[in-house]
Amino acid sequence: MGELTVREDQAPDTSPPTPTPAPVGPVSELAAWAYDAEQAHRIATSLAKTSFVPASLRGKPFDIAAAILTGQELGLRPMASLRAMDVIQGTPALRAHAMRGLVQAQGHAVQLVESSDTRCVMRGRRHGDDEWQTVTWTIERAQRLGLTGKDQWKKQPQTMLIARATGEICRLIAADVLYAAPYVAEELDGAGRPAPTYAAEPVTAAEILAGDEPDDEPEPPGESEPVDPDADAAAQLADETGGWPPVRKPGSGA
């Protein structure tokens, strides 16, 4: 036997791992989710190097698995999930068109009323409601929040305004649809956190101290009510006797 001959029992095992069998009978929700997570990772590993995966997810099986599991909670099939969301620093976020589609698929109405490079107005109505709710995003609002300095805001402000308005109106009328991914990708910063949607007005020191000022001005000296000498004597007597009336001798006339 030559030196290059490898014994059969020492050859490396290159066969794929045996998949975990599907749970049989009643199982807990956590056990079912763990099984789904394992299957999602197997799918993600197979897809990670294909061109069907968006460039932002390519070669990242764990991120792909997170996107698939998030999409499952939203009612999306695996490939639709990969086209519908981005994973930003581990946080899955829907793209604006996908969020509108999910909300509309549940029977809620979302309409684009006005759109330009400087202003976007969207309105929405929950299924079964009669009244519309409206949100407005302007370029001035974005400037106050410090958003317009970002590259995408410089290149396509109209698209970014639509995305911001989409996220706000969809959460307003259909938050129950978006538990798994409540923000559109354009609303997250580089660390996967939601960027602010409003700018708080600064509070001045005068406003803070205003609550500590007394309601009534102190009375100036010399303007207090006059003291009744009889009442003062009665109070002193009550202190000396413990509050009881003084004992009078019989025949004293008192």
Q: pLDDT tens digits, residue range 68-82?
A: 998 998 999 999 999
CB 98 within 8 A of CB 71: no
Q: Give percent above pLDDT 70 in the chain.
A: 64
The answer for residues whose C-beta is within 8 angstroms of residue 92's C-beta and 6 or more apart is 66, 67, 70, 85, 86, 180, 181
Q: What is the pLDDT of residue 220?
A: 57
Give this prediction's pTM. Answer: 0.62
Residues 57 and 34 in one domain: yes
Residue 238 included in any domain: no
Residues 40 and 110 in one domain: no
Residue 62 included in any domain: yes
Residues 174 and 104 in one domain: yes
Q: What is the pLDDT of residue 88?
A: 80
For residue 19, what pLDDT band results from cuts at 50, 70 and 90? low
Specify whether the backbone of 48 is left (phi greater than 0), alpha (psi in -120 to 50) or beta.
Answer: alpha
Q: What is the pLDDT of residue 6?
A: 47
For residue 167, what pLDDT band results from cuts at 50, 70 and 90? very high
Written as one letter, the residue type at 40 is A
Q: What is the pLDDT of residues 215-224, one digit of tens each?
A: 555 555 555 5
Q: What is the pLDDT of residue 86?
A: 84
Residues 172 and 125 in one domain: yes
Average pLDDT over residues 38-61: 91
Specify whether the backbone of 122 is left (phi greater than 0), alpha (psi in -120 to 50) or beta.
Answer: beta
Q: Is the pLDDT of residue 47 over 90?
A: yes
Q: What is the pLDDT of residue 232?
A: 59
Average pLDDT over residues 199-211: 58
Q: Is the pLDDT of residue 121 over 90?
A: yes
| Mean of per-residue pLDDT scores for the chain | 79
Residues 38 and 86 in one domain: yes
Residues 75 and 152 in one domain: no
Residue 57's domain spans which residues? 27-94
Q: What is the pLDDT of residue 159?
A: 95
Average pLDDT over residues 22-31: 75
Residue 78 included in any domain: yes
Residues 102 and 161 in one domain: yes
Q: What is the pLDDT of residue 236?
A: 60
Q: Is the pLDDT of residue 115 over 90?
A: yes
CA distance 106 to 76: 13
State which of 94, 121, 136 marks the end of a domain. 94
Choice between 112 and 251, residue whose per-residue pLDDT is larger: 112
Residue 190 included in any domain: no
State which of 71, 94, 117 marks the end of a domain. 94
Q: Is the pLDDT of residue 240 over 60?
A: no
Q: Is the pLDDT of residue 200 over 50?
A: no
Residues 55 and 103 in one domain: no
For residue 87, what pLDDT band results from cuts at 50, 70 and 90? confident
Residue 18 included in any domain: no
Output the six-digit token pair for 126: 């929950």
Q: How many domains does the chain have?
A: 2
Average pLDDT over residues 130-137: 96
Average pLDDT over residues 102-115: 96
Average pLDDT over residues 85-100: 86
Q: What is the pLDDT of residue 180?
A: 82
Residue 37 included in any domain: yes
Residue 168 included in any domain: yes
State which of 181, 210, 239 marks the end of a domain. 181
B/e letters for 21-30, b = 16+ CB within 10 Å, e = fewer, are: eeeeeeeeee
Residue 234 included in any domain: no
Residues 42 and 75 in one domain: yes
Residues 79 and 122 in one domain: no
Residues 112 and 168 in one domain: yes
